Amino acid sequence: MNRRQTLAALAATTGGAVMSPSTLLAHSAPEVVKDPPPFTFALNMSTIRGQNLGFVKELEVASKAGFRSVEIWMNSFQEYLKTHTVADVRKLLGDLGIKVENAIGFAQWIVDDETTRTKGVEQLKQEMELLAQIGCKRTAAPPMGATQQPGLDLRKAAERYRTILELGDKTGVVPQLELWGGSKNLNKLSEVMFIAVESGHPSARVLLDIYHLYKGGSSPASLPLVGKPGIEVFHLNDYPANPPRETIVDADRVYPGDGIGPVRDTLKQLKTPGKTIVLSLELFNKTYYAQDALLVAKTGLEKMKKVAEGI
Alpha-carbon separation of residue 132 from 7, 52, 98, 252 (angstroms): 67, 25, 15, 33
Query: pLDDT for 241-298, tens place per residue?
Result: 999 999 999 999 999 999 999 999 999 999 999 999 999 999 999 999 999 999 999 9
Percent of the chain at pLDDT > 90 equals 88
**45-67 burial: b if 16+ Cβ within 10 Å, else e:** bbbbbbbebebeebbbbbbebeb
Cα gap 74→126, rounded to integer Å = 11
Average confidence (pLDDT) over 216-228 = 93
Query: pLDDT for 52-76, tens place per residue?
Result: 999 999 999 999 999 999 999 999 9
Query: pLDDT for 181-190, tens place per residue?
Result: 999 999 999 9
pTM for the whole structure: 0.89
Check residue 20 and give its pLDDT.
52
* CA 16 to chain CA mean position, Å: 53
Residues near 154 by beta carbon (within 8 Å), at least 6 away in sequence: 191, 194, 195, 198
**200-230 burial: b if 16+ Cβ within 10 Å, else e:** ebeebbbbbbbbbbbbbebebeebeebeeeb
Residues near 291 by beta carbon (within 8 Å), at least 6 away in sequence: none
Out of 8-17, 103-112, 135-144, 244-253, pick the least confident: 8-17
Residue 89: pLDDT band (50, 70, 90) is: very high
Average confidence (pLDDT) over 110-130 = 98
Q: What domains, with CATH codes, occur in the chain?
A: 39-308 (3.20.20.150)
Q: Is the pLDDT of residue 34 over 90?
A: no
